[in-house]
Amino acid sequence: MLATHHELAIIIGSAREVVSRRLEALAAKGIVANERGRVRILSRQDLLRLAQGGGQGLVT
pLDDT for position 58: 61
φ, ψ for residue 38, nearest 5 deg: -145, 155
Across the chain, mean pLDDT equals 88
Q: Residue ranges of the domains in the chain? A: 5-51
φ, ψ for residue 9, nearest 5 deg: -60, -45
Rounded alpha-carbon distances, angstroms, from residue 35 to 38, 39, 41, 51: 5, 6, 11, 22
User: pTM here?
Assistant: 0.78
Residues 9-24: pLDDT tens digits? 999 999 999 999 999 9
Residue 42 pLDDT greater than 70, yes or no: yes
